Amino acid sequence: MLVDYNEPNSRTIGSLTLTPGVNQVDKDKWDGLLAAGYKKSVDALIDEGVITIIEDSRVNVALVKKTYDLKILEQWLDEAKGPLKGAIKKQIEVMTQDHNKED
């Protein structure tokens, strides 16, 4: 499952650490956290808009632009078409570009 974390810092909930942007989370791990007593805290974060649960079928260009996990982007690239595929390639390029390269 995908979780969009909308804060500039990392956050740990139990044994799960969310980083800014889109995070891929194992559904069983997520359900385990909720069952382990974090449901009230997670629900509050969802209500406040700090985290958003994303359905995989809702991948769009805006979501791609706030995804910083290459693994997720590469998975999306395999199935993407048209403008979405171009946006994913651009995001991967931006993230893998060597900004410290000396001429």
Q: What is the pLDDT of residues 87-103, one digit of tens each?
A: 999 999 988 887 645 55
Phi-psi region of 71 (alpha: psi -120 to 50; beta: other; left: phi over 0): alpha
Question: Residue 16 burial by CB count (10 A; 0-12/13-18/19+): exposed, middle or buried?
Answer: middle
Mean pLDDT across the chain, nearest whole number? 88
The full set of domain ranges for the chain reads 1-57, 59-103
Instruction: Give the tokens for residue 64.
Output: 């791609």
pLDDT of residue 98: 72
- What integer is the mean pLDDT of 40-63? 88
What is the pLDDT averaged over residues 19-31?
Answer: 92
Task: Give the whole-number percent of the chain exceeding pLDDT 70.
Answer: 93
Cα 14 from Cα 7, distance rounded (Å) = 18
pTM score above 0.85 = no
